[in-house]
Amino acid sequence: MWPCVVSSFSRRLVASLGVCGRRKCCGTAAFMPEAPAFEGVRSRSELRDFSVSDSERFWAAVGNQRLSWISPFHTVQDCDLTQGRIKWFEGGKLNVSVNCLDRHVHTSPDRVALIWERDEQGSEVKYTYRELLEMTCRLGNVLRRRGVKRGDCVTIYMPTCPLAVAAMLACARIGAAHNVVFAGFSADALAERIRDAESNTVITVNQGVRGGKFTELKKTVDEAVQSCPSVQQVLVAMRTDTPVVMTARDVAMEEYVFSYHDGDVFGCVADIGWITGHSYTVYGPLANGGTTVLFESTPIYPDPGRYWNTVERLKINQFYGAPTAIRLLLKYGDHWVTKYDRSTLKTLGSVGEPINTEAWEWYHRVVGDGRCPVVDTWWQTETGGICIAPRPSEPDAEIVPGMAMRPFFGIKPVLMDTEGKVLTSNNTSGALCMAQPWPGMARTIRNNHQRFIETYYQPYPGYFFTGDGAYRSAQGYYQITGRLDDVINVSGHRIGTAEIEDVVNQCSAVAESAVIGFSHDIKGEGVYAFVVLKKNIDIKEDDLSRQLNKMVSKKIAKYACPDVIQLANRLPKTRSGKIMRRVLRKVVERDLDGLGDLSTLDDPTAVQEIVEGHNAILRKQQQKQQP
Ligand code: 6R9
């Protein structure tokens, strides 16, 4: 759970329970009301230790007190990591939409649940818990009437908007699964996901609006369903006034109402098509009775001040975004940030990739005015929620830039060496695994349990394998070094490419970079750096290369210096902002046929630019070799 939501929620809960503010136990009670019942737990770090050493009692208390059950669970957990068997709260039955809505409608119906930060700047719309519940129930009834039943999987192809959240919750309400597909995906990519989910119902809107551009979502669905025989109906809501052609399969949805109320404001700007949007825009904040922002736009529309304009207008308290966006905004300079009032901000979060030191410091110093903690949160789709983050911890506990640092409640990370042995010392690096189960973790892959076992449980028997590498510092803090596939071996030295990127990004001329390994006659693998310069920077390539070599030799070692530097206007990225190093590797290996599925790319033309840039480098190298 998002640390700040937990703590503010807990404070409210404490207030509502009338717990004494003077007793000694209240340090942890104010933070987590269940804590005083755990013997010997007096501080947050003791609470964390307890959550691992007696995880059953910890999760039983959390499960009992924070959720409404239709029938209570009889067994807290029945998990066996050696088998990949994950079962939590057996016998228990609950409805997640009831937990996200009805519970809060009961106590504070007029609290704002959603603030829809529409693409059109300054036209936000607020929905209370009562309104969101109404919308969800109506949509749930429509789905039920139209034959959607328990166990069905509904595909949602919509921009980040209240109706999309209501659609997710409506599915959950009637026991259907939802398959949220990012609304920027092509017809082919959408079709593949509809077929995978075997959906008979798709929910969409006539048009999407993002960054001032209109996208024909309904048309894309029309095209996709041509190759999806399972689809029987497409529910269509209107995001814009432009009518669309409706067929016999299509069902028009009516509009809904909205109103304005004040409340706590949680601003996770991830798209609901990603796991971050699921856990921290929709389910996490709503389950905790928070007010959550649905950000429909882009960080640079209509200009690079969009996020901070939104923070000022919506009075956002916690801002949660991705390093890629921070790096992008940093390129445009500080004035886009400082012209807006950011005094409501309390915590700044980062997720999705390692946040390089320069971006972390800019986020902290410029965006947060040096007064907001920056929390680098590590987790994955498979983990369901944040697993490693600097907070929660004692309020004055140190935060080290660019480090996720501390395991979250109930999380027991371990590092493995290449032989599969647990590394027990500090100041060491290895493959990041989890030694203990927790309730939010994935339980299977739909229709492919065998793949689930093979991917996550066979590499290190008895442990959940994350696929990431991590370093544990002398103080015992964790730093994620990147996907293990992104480790290269230069002259016998193994190094995570993220580590080199971190140094390259500290160069004042550099906006962002991607480092990959390439086959090298002498070193085994050489270092190939793709570099995007900041706006309006004029630097000779030789000077850049000299500067980078100096920095990398000083901060890492000479062997890690880039052998090749390729300047690029942009890097190929997934739509959630992760750099697709696989694509870069294929370009450098000259295996253009092996580029694989590019449908998840944000901007496929970026690849063409990279290929052309690489060709130019090869030509230059050939010219140099000629006598
Ligand atoms: C939440 C999310 C998961 C992968 C993960 C790791 C990378 C996420 C990170 C991070 C370094 C962080 N990742 N957070 N790397 N520091 N704070 O992003 O889920 O899309 O499944 O990606 O993202 O490599 O394994 P998902």
Q: Give the C-alpha separation, 10 to 541, whole Å.
A: 54
**For a pocket test of ligand 1, which of 379, 429, 486 has the largest count of ligand atoms closer than 8 A to its C-beta?**
379
Residue type, 341: D
Per-residue pLDDT tens digits for 603-621: 888 999 999 999 999 999 8
Give bridge partners of residue 293 from the DSSP assignment: 115
Q: Give the C-alpha separation, 491 to 480, whole Å.
A: 23
**For a pocket test of ligand 1, which of 268, 350, 353, 464 has the largest count of ligand atoms closer than 8 A to its C-beta?**
353
A 10 A CB-CB count for 229 gives: 10
pLDDT at residue 22 tops 70: no
Residue type, 158: M
pLDDT at residue 9 tops 60: no
Q: Give the C-alpha separation, 61 to 280, whole Å.
A: 22
CB of residue 352 inside a 6 A radius of ligand 1:
yes
Q: Which residue has the tokens 């990431």?
A: 468
Q: Which residue has the tokens 């609006």?
A: 209
Q: How far is the CA of 378 from the centre of ligand 1 (A)?
A: 6
186: Cβ–Cβ under 8 A, 6 or more apart, which residues?
A: 220, 599
3-state secondary structure of 113: strand
pLDDT at residue 477 tops 50: yes
* pLDDT at position 1: 34
* pLDDT at position 254: 67
- The DSSP secondary-structure symbol of 579 reads B
* pLDDT at position 35: 87
82: Cβ–Cβ under 8 A, 6 or more apart, which residues?
A: 457, 461, 462
2: Cβ–Cβ under 8 A, 6 or more apart, which residues?
A: 266, 268, 280, 284, 285, 318, 320, 349, 385, 386
Q: Give the C-alpha separation, 225 to 248, whole Å.
A: 13
* pLDDT at position 33: 85
Q: How far is the CA of 351 from the centre of ligand 1 (A)?
A: 6
Mean pLDDT of 274-293: 92
pLDDT band at 261 (very low <50, low <70, confident <90, very high): very low
A 10 A CB-CB count for 192 gives: 18
Reference 394, options 41, 45, 29, 23; nearest CA is 45
Report residue 623 as tokens. Answer: 């010219």
* pLDDT at position 403: 92
pLDDT at residue 257 tops 50: no
Q: Give the C-alpha separation, 214 to 217, whole Å.
A: 9
Q: Give the C-alpha separation, 360 to 322, whole Å.
A: 11
| Residue nearest to ligand 1 atom 15, measured at CA | 353
Q: Give the C-alpha separation, 385 to 380, whole Å.
A: 7
With beta carbons less than 8 A apart as the criterion, state whether 354 and 323 touch.
Answer: yes
At residue 355's C-alpha, the angle toward residues 351 and 360, to 5°, is: 110
With beta carbons less than 8 A apart as the criterion, state whether 498 and 510 touch.
Answer: no
Q: Give the C-alpha separation, 534 to 508, whole Å.
A: 8
With beta carbons less than 8 A apart as the criterion, state whether 572 and 601 touch.
Answer: yes
Per-residue pLDDT tens digits for 421-463: 999 999 999 999 999 999 999 999 999 999 999 999 999 999 9
More confident: 597 or 246: 246
Q: How far is the CA of 162 from the centre of ligand 1 (A)?
A: 26
Q: Which residue has the tokens 């971050």?
A: 276
Reference 566, options 614, 615, 511, 627; nearest CA is 614
Q: What mean pLDDT value characterizes the chain? A: 89
Concatenated DSSP letters of 247-302: -TTEEEPPP----------EEE-S-TTSHHHIIIIIIHHHHTT--EEEE-S-TTSS
Reference 388, options 347, 443, 433; nearest CA is 433
CB of residue 379 inside a 6 A radius of ligand 1:
yes
Q: How far is the CA of 481 from the centre of ligand 1 (A)?
A: 11
Per-residue pLDDT tens digits for 50-79: 999 999 999 999 999 999 999 999 999 999
Q: Which atom of ligand 1 is nearest to the CA of 466?
A: 25
Report residue 221 as tokens. Answer: 């669905």
Q: How far is the CA of 199 from the centre of ligand 1 (A)?
A: 28
Answer whether the bond into residue 392 is a cis peptide, omega within 30°: yes
* pLDDT at position 587: 95
Single pTM value for the model: 0.80
Q: Which atom of ligand 1 is nearest to the CA of 355?
A: 16
| Residue nearest to ligand 1 atom 4, measured at CA | 380
pLDDT at residue 187 tops 80: yes
Q: How distant, in Å, are the alpha carbons of 48, 78, 414 from that of 437?
A: 15, 10, 13
CB of residue 377 inside a 6 A radius of ligand 1:
yes
Show the beta-strand stretches assigned E in 326-459.
Answer: 347-350, 374-376, 413-416, 422-423, 428-434
Q: How far is the CA of 277 from the centre of ligand 1 (A)?
A: 13
* pLDDT at position 24: 40
620: Cβ–Cβ under 8 A, 6 or more apart, which residues?
A: none
Reference 135, options 92, 97, 84; nearest CA is 97
* pLDDT at position 4: 33
* pLDDT at position 268: 94
| Residue nearest to ligand 1 atom 17, measured at CA | 378
Q: Give the C-alpha separation, 456 to 443, whole Å.
A: 11
Q: Give the C-alpha separation, 305 to 211, whole Å.
A: 13
Mean pLDDT of 87-113: 96
Q: Which residue has the tokens 């919506």?
A: 314
Reference 344, options 377, 319, 376, 375; nearest CA is 319
CB of residue 381 inside a 6 A radius of ligand 1:
yes
- The DSSP secondary-structure symbol of 408 reads P
Concatenated DSSP letters of 46-92: HHHHHHHHTHHHHHHHHHHHHS--SB--SEEE--BTTTTB--EEET-
Chain length of the chain: 627
Answer whether the bond into residue 302 is a cis peptide, omega within 30°: yes
Q: How far is the CA of 112 from the centre of ligand 1 (A)?
A: 30
Q: How far is the CA of 275 from the centre of ligand 1 (A)?
A: 10
β-pair type (422-423, 374-376): unpaired
Report residue 354 as tokens. Answer: 């390692």
Show the beta-strand stretches assigned E in 312-389.
Answer: 318-321, 347-350, 374-376
* pLDDT at position 13: 26
Query: HSE (CB half, 13 Å, CA atoms) of 459?
Result: 19
CB of residue 376 inside a 6 A radius of ligand 1:
yes
